[in-house]
Structure 1
Amino acid sequence: MYDLIGDIHGELGALEALLRKLGYRRTSEGWSHPGRMAIFLGDFIDRGADSRGVCRLVREMTQGGSAKAVMGNHEFNALAYHTPDPLRPGAFLREHSPKNRSQHEATLESFAGNDAEFEETRDWFASLPLWLDLGGLRVVHAAWHTESMEALHDHLDTDRKLQASALEQMSRKEKTASRTGKTAYESVETVLKGVEVKLPDGCRFVDKDGHQRHEARIRWWLREGSLTWRELALGPPELIAQLPDALVNEGASRGYPADAPPVFIGHYWLTGKPAPLAPNVACLDYSVAKPGGQLVAYRWEGEQILKVSSFVSVSR
């Protein structure tokens, strides 16, 4: 069966400790387990001190057959950051702004002097699927969102990996919408960063960078029903408090079906004791790159109702 592992963000020591705790052992061919396979939920790089070491370990496991992995938004951003924009000479698909450079700085430092290895690593990023549907369980970095996945269909191969032209198309906000009405940019943003919905007219909040926002990311696995905006929105308490304590618009969130296979996600920087978000939804990102954070795994044995007792964690 599978051991699903959340966002690592360059924290190699925590990853090795978690693998040992799960019963994996390191050999000359990399880490492996005699009877289990790991599945990594993306975001291997940035923030922590050893993105290079993390990528090497996870890459060895995936290429050696002892693990699977999906792409996170940080891997996607890295690909765009290092890919020249064919329409703007001297520019890149992801702008080299101070903000973007700062977010990626730890990875650049980790791979310093190893340009060839970093290029090979980015080629490996590009080979990762955006999601996995293994029948009894599903894996995606941020949101299992059917409409967005359908919109990406023409940009991915049969294994949900990026086609040759996909990165450019997904990096352009102005690209033409797909047959579902969503652009490739909007769709990959949803799958890798989460569902964002427009707030009611006249409502806004100020984000951590001081920008006024008229849209909010939501707990997409919940159906709107009788939920208020404060209950459905995702974010720190000081931001949630700025939202209206009013019922959510009909259609804002369709939720994740109760009879669907379990889905495992990362991305959301949770804290506290690991537990399912819903009977068939689990987030495994528990902020390992922050002080007091944890690297978290879930030992899946085929169950359709997820259990608190199956979470395994190590402190940073």
Structure 2
Amino acid sequence: MAVNRQAAHRGYDIIGDIHGCANTLIRLLEQMGYRKVNGVYQHHRRQAIFIGDIIDRGPRIREALHLVRDMVEHGSARIVMGNHEYNALGYCTRARPGSGKKWLREHNARHNRLIRETLDQFDDHPHEWNEFLEWFYTIPLFIEEEGFRVVHACWDGDLIEKFKRVQGGACIDEDFLHASAAIESFAGQVMDTLLRGTDLRLPEGTSITGRDGYVREFFRTKFWADDPETYADVVFQPDPLPPEVARKILTDQERKQLISYPLSAPPVFVGHYWMEGEPAPLKGNVACIDYSAVKYGRLVAYRFDGEAVLSPDKFVWVDVSRPEQFGYPNMEDSVER
């Protein structure tokens, strides 16, 4: 198996969506040989990479943020932004005069519900929360090394190259955040694609009610599908398509909307997608490491050592199906389904 020399000198442990499951994260880090040194988790020869979505839903969001930020600031970890960190910035940022809105991200029932646990847990620590919001601006949207790539939901090479030219790096600023509130804008497309993934519109008159109760007229799609022919070949989401929709042949226009990620490209790691079952690569150079930890699934990491072809043997995880079995009586026990 080919090994990239630059990546091989230091191993990387890419860790999936945490969503406030701080105790589970500690168990996973310790399982992988990370130990606290001067209050910060470190490994003597490896570096953790967090896939984003540290906040929302879980019972120990504040603790998780402190743990992750301390590791990043001390060099024992890196991180990319998740859609929940981006959502928090929009939710907590006032819209500019003349926009017709009070906040960049509307304070409606659904958005209030998604961020409620985070705001509740910081209710007695408002200065800390403001500091974390500022820190979110320092989190890159992607990591691109010679031998691997990391992004929260979707690697769109063309969008990323244009973003680097526009922004001069991998981070957003407040102007870009404001611009991204218009989904049809370049900024809106960057944030929507990289942090939420790609989608296709369902046939006219068709909708899907997900397990979260949200009614969708679009479905998430793979950015790595090879020569797809039907909707079933590109769908990538927890909620299945109706059988008659899954069999539908992709039109030429729909094919043009899909993104291709060739096998010749470096391995890329994503989170975001609420996977289930036994962790394994999606294809030889694509791995999703979000296995629904906060829904009592698994908190997963991939231990990357420079290999060009990803292996199921490199996944490690902590099960969170029965929190009390881990010796933490209240661990991850207040998540919203």
TM over 0.5: yes
| Secondary structure of 1:91 counterpart | coil
Residue deviations 1:83-141 (CA, integer Å, cap 9, x gap): 01113587111111111010001111121210111111111111100001011000000
Cα distance in structure 1, aligned partners of 2:238 and 2:173: 36
Map residues 166-315 of structure 1 onto 2, 5 A cutoff. Answer: 166-173=176-183, 175=185, 183-199=186-202, 202=204, 204-208=206-210, 209=213, 211=215, 213=217, 215-223=218-226, 225-241=227-243, 243-249=245-251, 250-291=255-296, 293-315=297-319
Partner of residue 325, structure 2: none
* Aligned partner letter, 1:147: D
Cα distance in structure 2, aligned partners of 1:83 and 1:204: 35
C-alpha spacing 1:239/1:210, structure 2 compared with 1 (3 Å): farther
Higher relative contact order (CA 8 A, sep 6+): 2
Q: Tell whether the 8 Å contact from 2:19 to 2:53 is kept in structure 1 after alignment.
A: yes
Partner of residue 179, structure 1: none
Cα distance in structure 2, aligned partners of 1:130 and 1:233: 24
Q: Tell whether the 8 Å contact from 1:229 to 1:244 is kept in structure 2 after alignment.
A: yes
Cα distance in structure 2, aligned partners of 1:44 and 1:281: 22
Q: Tell whether the 8 Å contact from 2:14 to 2:51 is kept in structure 1 after alignment.
A: yes
* Aligned partner letter, 1:141: H
CA offset at residue 57 of structure 1? 0.4
After TM superposition, the runs of 4+ consecutive aligned structure 1 residues lying more than 4 A away are none
Cα distance in structure 2, aligned partners of 1:156 and 1:68: 20
Cα distance in structure 1, aligned partners of 2:261 and 2:184: 29
* Aligned partner letter, 2:265: A
| Secondary structure of 2:256 counterpart | coil
- Range with greater deviation from structure 2 (134-143 or 246-255): 246-255
Partner of residue 101, structure 1: 112
Q: CA RMSD in A?
A: 1.9
C-alpha spacing 1:284/1:266, structure 2 compared with 1 (3 Å): same
CA offset at residue 199 of structure 1? 4.5
Cα distance in structure 2, aligned partners of 1:212 and 1:3: 34
Partner of residue 7, structure 1: 17
Q: Tell whether the 8 Å contact from 1:151 to 1:187 is kept in structure 2 after alignment.
A: no
Residue deviations 1:153-210 (CA, integer Å, cap 9, x gap): 455332x0113411100122354xxxxxxx321221010000113456x473323246
* Aligned partner letter, 2:159: S
The alignment covers a number of residue pairs equal to 304
Cα distance in structure 2, aligned partners of 1:7 and 1:28: 25
* Aligned partner letter, 2:193: T
C-alpha spacing 1:188/1:8, structure 2 compared with 1 (3 Å): same
Partner of residue 103, structure 2: 92
Partner of residue 4, structure 2: none
Cα distance in structure 2, aligned partners of 1:212 and 1:266: 21
- Range with greater deviation from structure 2 (273-282 or 146-155): 146-155
Partner of residue 332, structure 2: none
CA offset at residue 271 of structure 1? 0.4
Q: Is the aligned partner of 1:61 residue 2:71?
A: yes
Cα distance in structure 1, aligned partners of 2:216 and 2:53: 27
- Range with greater deviation from structure 2 (226-235 or 202-211): 202-211
TM-score by length of 2: 0.85
2:158 to 147, 155, 158: 147
Q: Tell whether the 8 Å contact from 2:56 to 2:114 is kept in structure 1 after alignment.
A: yes
Flag structure 1 segments of 5+ consecutive residues without an equivalent.
176-182
Residue deviations 1:204-259 (CA, integer Å, cap 9, x gap): 3323246351x321011113x24310231122354353524033233343421111
Q: Tell whether the 8 Å contact from 1:219 to 1:232 is kept in structure 2 after alignment.
A: yes
Cα distance in structure 2, aligned partners of 1:238 and 1:306: 26
Cα distance in structure 1, aligned partners of 2:44 and 2:242: 45
Partner of residue 75, structure 1: 85
1:116 to 111, 115, 127: 127
Cα distance in structure 2, aligned partners of 1:233 and 1:31: 38
The share of aligned pairs that are identical, in percent, is 38
C-alpha spacing 1:155/1:57, structure 2 compared with 1 (3 Å): farther
Cα distance in structure 2, aligned partners of 1:124 and 1:280: 31
Residue deviations 1:8-66 (CA, integer Å, cap 9, x gap): 00000110000000000012241000010000000000010111110000000000011
